[in-house]
Amino acid sequence: MTAVICWYYLQKTKTGLNVRAVGENPGAADAAGIRVIRAKYINVLIGGGICGIGGAYSAMIICGGVWISNCVNGLGWISVALVIFASWSPVKAIYGSLAFGCFSVLKYYVPKSIISIPNAFYDMLPFVITALVLVISSVRQSKENNQPASCGTNYFREER
């Protein structure tokens, strides 16, 4: 549901268009009258909040509500790989997360009497698929699949 809301926000609202403009070229967005620093701070806070809720949800489901060390076990890296795989598109992220989720629960649905594969293989499978997806995503370099042009760079209004 959150990904659908994010898709609508980024693709169908004026504020979402402003956020995408800030991500691509903050100097041009600033010249157009968009408050770049405010847009970056607000959206980083919203994204961090969504990540925190996702981490708490994972800890509650995986560990039954009891916090233990390493309870998330690298699921954050799978989510980062999912963002890269989805090319920063919330709709593609929904389909990708369903695929990664299918690999995560595969061990519960493969009959042990027919195929005798250790559970450790099934636990490893999402991470192997993640590595393959990252390699394939890095090979297929195209303009539309790249991250926003100014992603990870600071913007100083005085330097434009």
Q: Would you say 99 and 125 are in contact if contact means Cβ atoms under 8 Å apart? A: no
- The phi and psi torsions of 150 (rounded to 5 degrees) equal -105, 20
Whole-number Å distance between alpha carbons of 54 and 72? 10
What pLDDT does residue 141 have?
Answer: 64
pLDDT digits (tens, 9 = 90+) for 14-64: 999 999 999 999 999 999 999 999 999 999 999 999 888 887 887 788 777
**pLDDT range class, residue 8, cuts 50, 70, 90:** very high
**pTM assigned to the model:** 0.75
Mean pLDDT across the chain? 84
User: What was the pLDDT predicted at 81?
Assistant: 83
Give the C-alpha separation, 20 to 32, whole Å.
Answer: 13
Does pLDDT of 160 surpass 60? Answer: no
**pLDDT confidence tier of residue 143, bands split at 50, 70 and 90:** low
The C-alpha angle 129, 85, 119, rounded to 5 degrees, equals 20
Give the model confidence (pLDDT) of 76-118 as tens digits. 788 888 888 887 778 888 888 888 888 888 888 888 888 788 8
Class of residue 138 by CB neighbours under 10 A (exposed 0-12, middle 13-18, buried 19+)? exposed
Half-sphere exposure (CA, 13 Å, Cβ side) for 132? 7
3-state secondary structure of 62: helix
